[in-house]
Amino acid sequence: MDASAVKRVGTGQHAVICLHGWFGSADGWGYWPEVADGWAYSWWFPEMRGYGARKDETGDYTMKEYAADALAFADADGEGLFFGAPEKDENRRAIIDFTTGNRNSGHWLDAMVAFSRANSTEEAFAGAVRSWVRDDYLADVGKPET
């Protein structure tokens, strides 16, 4: 993805990738990018294929392709929630907090990070994160009947 197709707001340590909807573009967030916390976060607003600065870029225009583009962008820039998670406890903590609905105490989160660190290798944890983010089980499950 060309750098001109991604807008960045802020220089904070935590990266957030904001994907626009079907009827928008990276410019369609209103005033929110102007008021977003740029000290704590780096906000990335990439264009999806066929929209905005990527309006002429062709593709399948599927959610799967959009997700793959977003992950490729995150991988290329070394940003995102998962970058450094095997090595950095604060990233493990952020993943645990996010995946449990941001509803548990700091004490509980710290205990989960300590347990995770004590009971896994960085290599195993990194493999699990890659699998969690990239594996596709749809073909294995099949299409549910409605």
pTM of the model: 0.55
Provide long-range contacts, Cβ within 8 A and 24+ apart, for 139-143.
Answer: none
Lowest-confidence pick of 59-68, 78-87, 91-100: 78-87
> Where residue 111 falls among pLDDT bands split at 50, 70, 90?
very high
Rounded Cα distance between 61 and 58, Å, is 8
Nearest to 69 by CA among 44, 45, 42, 49: 49
Statement: residue 79 has pLDDT above 70: no
**Which is higher by pLDDT, 36 or 135?**
36
Which DSSP category does 56 fall into? T
Rounded Cα distance between 114 and 72, Å, is 30
Nearest to 45 by CA among 68, 76, 24, 23: 24
Statement: residue 80 has pLDDT above 70: no
- Tens of pLDDT, residues 5-34: 888 899 887 778 888 887 888 888 888 889
The mean pLDDT of 40-54, rounded to a whole number, is: 89
